């Protein structure tokens, strides 16, 4: 059975929390221990049932012998490639480590081949990444979505000294992804956890529409009194809705811009990737007529669109907030009318509508009223489905 997996990182995400959560959801613990043990990194592995704020969870333990040796990316990739693992697991684990290597190289401004892996290259992180990729494989996970990530706050001790949270590598890995800080002053999201999430997740946002089949809780190393220090995974099957994602809403009140320039700004914002742009009349201070510009953006395009609003309009300030966007699955069919072909958009519930641009083009080409083209397209579709 193929599953969607939702990573609920309300208390952050680390490699050991993820492996524990997948085992808690039903991934074969013995298979994970055997497979990771075959990597011969010297790590000792075990699972333990614990509680965090009263929630039963699984803790993944990785014990290693402290050494001062480091591993390069090429060495780690050879370890994974030579291990008796399924090919998909080798591929995903290698992709995660490559992403870690690229980020470490960028953070330290050095060639990739010279990067020494400290925390991320140690035996425990190899166990975490390979264990997580194997856990997804054992559970039949085909698609991964991650919540906005709680990164924590404060500082963390690393091989490079005391660093702010999120650590530089974590911050770089989570670039253009939704993050926040809440709870204890502690590193809640590690580079390993961020690397797995950002490499494998197809998106970040709210829980996607699904039929929930399993849940699992992976425990962090500490038990905080103010929040359950666990990563929750929710496994489910597609429920039919086409999209449920977090979007950014960008707004500005404008009272000193020519309508022609406003219309041009709308065109530019749509061309730059805005999901929608609307204009709404307002009565502003001192009785001035104005316009509310509202742009709906994907999180990864939010900053680009905000810059474009400042460039194309006269506003000096913006309001930006998060909202949920839910869209039904839809399909297309093409119908033939005397004037040409028109695409019909059909929702999962059976609602339908002729594509405006097709109807507009035919109306211009033939000189017929647009309403006549729309009516003929609707009639042609109804004849087709009867």
Q: What is the pLDDT of residues 74-132, one digit of tens each?
A: 888 899 999 999 999 999 999 999 999 899 888 878 887 776 665 445 788 899 999 99
Position 244 scores a pLDDT of 56
Position 1 scores a pLDDT of 66
Position 215 scores a pLDDT of 97
Report whether 184 contacts 216 (CB < 8 A).
Answer: no
Report whether 377 contacts 335 (CB < 8 A).
Answer: yes
| Residue 69 pLDDT > 70 | no
Look over the chain and give the mean of its residue pLDDT values, rounded to a whole number: 90
Report whether 247 contacts 298 (CB < 8 A).
Answer: yes
Position 229 scores a pLDDT of 97
Residue 3: strand pairing partners: 141
Question: Which run of H or of E encompasses 335?
Answer: strand 330-337
Please give the backbone phi and psi of residue 65, each rounded to the nearest 5 degrees, phi first. Answer: -90, 130
Residues 6+ apart with CB under 8 A from 233: 5, 6, 7, 8, 18, 21, 22, 24, 25, 215, 216, 217, 218
CA–CA dist 98, 94 (Å, integer): 6
Q: What is the pLDDT of residues 342-380, one digit of tens each?
A: 999 998 788 999 999 999 999 999 999 999 999 999 999
Position 246 scores a pLDDT of 77
Q: What are the structural domains of the chain?
A: 3-239 (no CATH), 244-327 (3.30.70.1380), 330-385 (3.10.20.300)
CA–CA dist 278, 129 (Å, integer): 44
CA–CA dist 258, 43 (Å, integer): 67
Position 117 scores a pLDDT of 66
Position 105 scores a pLDDT of 86
Q: What is the pTM (predicted TM-score) of this model? A: 0.68
């Amino acid at each position: 059975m193929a599953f969607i997996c939702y990573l609920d990182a309300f208390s952050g995400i680390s490699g050991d929390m993820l492996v524990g959560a997948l085992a808690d959801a039903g991934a074969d613990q013995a298979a994970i221990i055997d497979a990771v043990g075959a990597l011969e990194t010297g790590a000792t592995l075990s699972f333990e049932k614990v509680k965090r704020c009263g929630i039963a969870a699984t803790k993944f333990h990785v014990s290693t012998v402290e050494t001062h040796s480091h591993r390069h990316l090429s060495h780690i990739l050879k370890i994974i490639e030579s291990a008796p693992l399924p090919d998909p697991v080798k591929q995903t684990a290698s992709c995660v480590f490559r992403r870690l290597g690229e980020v470490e190289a960028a953070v330290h401004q050095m060639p990739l081949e010279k990067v020494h892996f400290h925390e991320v290259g140690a035996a425990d992180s190899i166990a975490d990444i390979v264990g997580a990729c194997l856990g997804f494989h054992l559970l039949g996970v085909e698609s991964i979505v991650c919540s906005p990530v709680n990164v924590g706050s404060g500082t963390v001790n690393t091989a490079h000294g005391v660093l702010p949270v999120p650590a530089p590598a974590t911050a770089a890995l989570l670039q253009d992804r939704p993050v926040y800080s809440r709870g204890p002053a502690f590193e809640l999201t590690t580079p390993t956890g961020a690397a797995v999430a950002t490499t494998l997740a197809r998106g970040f946002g709210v829980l996607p529409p699904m039929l929930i089949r399993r849940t699992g809780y992976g425990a962090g190393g500490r038990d905080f009194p103010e929040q359950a220090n666990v990563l929750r995974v929710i496994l489910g099957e597609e429920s039919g809705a086409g999209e449920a994602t977090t979007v950014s809403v960008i707004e500005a009140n404008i009272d000193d811009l020519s309508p022609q320039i406003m219309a041009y700004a709308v065109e530019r914002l749509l061309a730059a990737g805005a999901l929608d742009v609307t204009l709404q009349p307002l009565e502003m201070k001192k009785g001035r007529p104005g316009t509310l510009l509202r742009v709906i953006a994907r999180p990864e395009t939010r900053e680009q669109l905000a810059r474009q609003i400042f460039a194309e309009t006269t506003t000096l300030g913006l309001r930006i907030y998060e909202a949920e966007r839910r869209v039904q699955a839809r399909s297309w069919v093409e119908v033939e009318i005397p004037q040409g072909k028109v695409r019909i958009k059909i929702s999962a519930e059976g609602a339908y509508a002729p594509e405006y641009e097709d109807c507009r083009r035919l109306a211009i080409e033939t000189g017929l009223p647009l309403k006549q083209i729309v009516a003929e397209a609707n009639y042609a579709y109804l004849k087709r489905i009867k």
